């Protein structure tokens, strides 16, 4: 079977987090911390605006992986480790970038066991998150596996 992903591949997504997006997400996950809802509380704590719940940029960052690989294969997350470097502030534009650092075909799993390293930076070029992930990338069908193996 041909490899589905190649070491060195890089993919990214850019996303802006508006204040209303942060408030709505925090409500959906029942995170009622005032720093996610109340601008005056955030300013009193020394921030220029409300902060995103830690799980919000993390969720978007991880979804970037599955959205990318789902275009041509079936991604299955195996492991994920994240480090938070600084808060994400309402109005931040995040650039989420992942690099394939290892990939090898596992016959018994019928897919590429893929290791990724990623970073999320804001518009000030500050790293806000970094992560590693292991993802099993399986072919969706024989046709997809054949064409994707030449990437």
Task: Compute CA distances 127 → 50, 86, 96, 120, 151, whole Å.
Answer: 18, 7, 10, 6, 29
Residue with tokens 């990338």: 137
- The answer as to whether 2 is a domain residue is no
pTM for this model (two decimals): 0.89
Structure tokens given for 150: 């030449």
Q: What is the pLDDT of residue 150?
A: 45
CATH code for the domain of 117:
3.10.129.10
- The answer as to whether 144 is a domain residue is yes
Q: What is the pLDDT of residue 88?
A: 98
- The answer as to whether 79 is a domain residue is yes
pLDDT in tens, the chain (151 residues): 567 999 999 999 999 999 999 999 999 999 999 999 999 999 999 999 999 999 999 999 999 999 999 999 999 999 999 999 999 999 999 999 999 999 999 999 999 999 999 999 999 999 999 999 999 999 987 544 455 454 4
Q: What is the pLDDT of residue 142?
A: 58
- The answer as to whether 4 is a domain residue is no
Domain coverage including residue 74: 10-18+51-148
Tally of CB atoms within 10 A around 76: 14
Q: What is the pLDDT of residue 35?
A: 98
Q: What is the pLDDT of residue 119?
A: 99
Q: What is the pLDDT of residue 3?
A: 79
- The answer as to whether 130 is a domain residue is yes
Q: What is the pLDDT of residue 129?
A: 99
- The answer as to whether 128 is a domain residue is yes
Q: What is the pLDDT of residue 144?
A: 47
Q: Which SS3 state, helix, strand or coil, does residue 21 take?
A: helix
CA distance 112 to 102: 9
Cα end-to-end span (Å), the chain: 14
Instruction: Count the domains in the chain.
Output: 1
- The answer as to whether 85 is a domain residue is yes
| DSSP notation for 93-120 | EEEEEEEEEEEEEEGGGTEEEEEEEEEE
- The answer as to whether 3 is a domain residue is no
Q: What is the pLDDT of residue 2?
A: 64
């Amino acid at each position: 079977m041909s490899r589905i992903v190649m070491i060195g591949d890089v993919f990214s997504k850019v996303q802006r987090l508006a204040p209303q997006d942060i408030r709505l997400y925090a409500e959906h996950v029942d995170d009622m911390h005032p720093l996610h809802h109340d601008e005056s509380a955030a300013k009193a704590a020394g921030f220029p605006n409300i902060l995103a719940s830690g799980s919000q940029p993390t969720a978007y960052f991880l979804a970037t992986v599955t959205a990318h690989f789902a275009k041509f294969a079936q991604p299955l997350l195996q492991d994920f480790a994240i480090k938070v470097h600084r808060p994400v502030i309402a109005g931040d534009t995040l650039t989420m970038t992942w690099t394939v650092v290892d990939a090898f075909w596992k016959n018994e799993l019928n897919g590429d066991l893929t290791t990724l390293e990623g970073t999320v930076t804001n518009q000030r070029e500050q790293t806000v998150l970094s992560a590693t992930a292991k993802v099993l990338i399986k072919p969706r069908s024989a046709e997809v596996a054949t064409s994707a193996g030449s990437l």
